[in-house]
Amino acid sequence: MSVLLWCNACGKKFKAKREPSPGKEIPCKTCGEGILTTEEPGSLPNSDAATESFSPPLDNDMAAEASAPPPQEEAAPPPAPKRESAPASGDDQAMVQRIGESYQALKHEIHKKIIGQHEVVDNVLACIFASGHCLLIGVPGLAKTLLVNSIAEGLGVTFKRIQFTPDLMPSDITGTEIIQDDPETGRREYKFLPGPVFSNILLADEINRTPPKTQASLLEAMQEKQVSAGGKTYKLDKPFFVMATQNPLDQEGTYPLPEAQMDRFLFNIFVDFPEYDDEVEIARMVTSSVSEDIVSVMTGQDICDYQELIKRAPVSDHVLHYAVNLVRATRKGRPEAPDFINDYVNISAGPRACLALISAAKARAILNGRYHVSTEDVAAIANPVLRHRLSPNFGALAEGITSDILVEKLLEAIPQNG
């Protein structure tokens, strides 16, 4: 920054780079008589003369500073990386059409092995594309295991099956560490052997036939998509789904799942007995030598891409409010709760139920070729989402009122257009 100096004799004005150091006198180079100061004279002969550029004599500090190279201008920081924006709507619409075609082809392949059970198949696939886990409940012999195996074949992903038994240990699921000799160094070291949880689809068959300690070993894998063992964390491959089958709790040798684990399942799907015509076809097909192989119609990357597409599906505030109203109405003792909830509910649904309703409704809309979510989509998947998140009290059970009946009453009590 430059300063102005004036001669105290002739009034000549000069421009200097900085003020003179204290105790240093700078003679005027024009008249040779005056001294340059920072004080402007009142009215001297040359006070209005043009300003001349002038460099005063420098002391040692000033000379060192002047000899230094001029400071470089700070380089402008690199521009922040642009966040990748969502694909154009035309791309998304083309992908919606593609996922619809793949979805129909996948169902066709699954029904080569599964006769009937159309609603069950639709719900399981919606759960998968909504990035959730699924719990299938039904008596033995309803092809629950075959259904999950057929879905894995049609999706073209890795598949592992665990038969849960009372003596199953957590390490049998997640993996274990063994001591192994290093042939090069001769030293012994720990090596982690991955368990069956390291797959894309894990079938936890009869999950409620093992104690809660072993059931809980799936919690980290289901929520964080990782396994911790020996002080290390191992990431699971994407996509990752847990498909668990469960026998009714009134059967011998079953353990109820903890509420914390039940809540991590996006859907609780009840598998009922097949219709008459379907059962006839099952008997004909299974007892004959005719069997069709399932052809893979997708890849793991396709599933991940479709999941991202479903997350981008728009949801109006009206639909969001309807989903939240449904969940809040399940909470006993709250102003939003209807009388039958206060009378019959023991445990209510938490915020995760809202997320599950919206995610599943998005998947249902996209799989059916629609680009937006409606309240009808939310109502259609309310039963599998809320069924295991509502716990009827003893009074309700004594009157034969199940969680399904409570959800149906909720759908009647909460208007879709409210």
Domain presence at residue 380: yes
Q: Vertex 341, ends 336 and 346: CA angle to 5°? A: 120
Q: Does any domain span residue 345?
A: yes
Out of 69-83, 200-214, 369-383, least confident range: 69-83
pLDDT of residue 321: 92
185 is a domain residue: yes
Asked if residue 136 is part of any domain, the answer here is yes
- Residue 95 inside a domain? The answer is yes
Question: In this predicted structure, what is the pLDDT of residue 92?
Answer: 75
**CATH number of the domain that residue 153 is part of:** 3.40.50.300
Query: Do residues 306 and 356 both lie within one domain?
Result: no
Average pLDDT over residues 12-25: 67
Question: Does the pLDDT of residue 188 top 50, yes or no?
Answer: yes
pLDDT band at 354, cuts 50/70/90?
Answer: very high
The answer to the question of residue 73 being in a domain is: no
Residue 190 lies inside a defined structural domain of this protein = yes
Per-residue pLDDT of 72-106, as tens digits, reads 444 444 544 443 334 445 677 788 888 888 889 99
What whole-number distance in Å separates Cα of residue 410 and Cα of residue 122? 23
Q: What are the pLDDT digits (tens) for 385-395? A: 998 888 888 88
| CATH number of 356's domain | 1.10.8.80
**Could you give the C-alpha distances from 360 to 70, 78, 267, 309, 351, in angstroms and in order?**
63, 41, 9, 13, 15
Please indicate, yes or no, whether residues 49 and 100 belong to a single structural domain of this protein.
Answer: no
How much is the pLDDT for 251?
60
Are residues 122 and 177 located together in one domain of the fold? Answer: yes
319 and 387 belong to one structural domain: yes
Pair 365, 257 in one domain: no
Do 263 and 396 sit in the same domain of this protein? no
Cα 303 to Cα 127, 244, 308, 309: the distances in Å are 12, 20, 9, 10
Q: How many domains would you assign to the chain?
A: 3
How much is the pLDDT for 61? 42
d(CA 307, CA 229): 29
Residues 153, 138, 259, 211, CA torsion sign? negative
Q: Name the 3-class secondary structure at 27.
A: strand
Query: What residue numbers bound the domain in which 348 lies?
Result: 313-418
Q: Cis omega before residue 239 (within 30°)?
A: yes
Residue 1's pLDDT is what? 54
Q: Are residues 119 and 247 in the same domain?
A: yes
Same domain for 341 and 392: yes
In this prediction, residue 87 carries a pLDDT of 40
Residues 50 and 108 in one domain: no
| Residue whose C-alpha is closest to residue 147's, from 167, 173, 121, 122 | 121
The answer to whether 202 touches 160, Cβ cutoff 8 Å, is: yes
| pLDDT given for residue 184 in this prediction | 80
Q: How confident is the model at residue 54 (pLDDT cuts 50, 70, 90)?
A: very low
| For residue 117, pLDDT beyond 90 | no
* Domain shared by 184 and 248, yes or no: yes
Q: Is the pTM of this model over 0.75?
A: no
Detail the DSSP E strand segments found in 195-249: 201-205, 226-229, 232-235, 241-246
Question: Does 113 share its domain with 183?
Answer: yes
The pLDDT value given to residue 125: 92
Residues whose CB falls within 8 Å of the CB of residue 186, separated by 6 or more in sequence, listed in order: none
- Tokens of residue 210, six digits: 């093992």
Quote the pLDDT of residue 326: 92
Residue 74 lies in a domain: no
The runs of H, that is alpha helices, within 178-316 are: 212-215, 219-224, 259-262, 276-286, 300-311
Same domain, 280 and 321: no
Is the pLDDT score of 361 beyond 90?
A: yes
Report the relative pairing of strands 345-347 and 391-392 from DSSP bridges. Answer: antiparallel
**Beta carbons of 170 and 214 less than 8 angstroms apart:** yes
Q: H/E element holding 62?
A: helix 60-67
Mark which of 44, 59, 74 sits at the end of a domain. Answer: 59
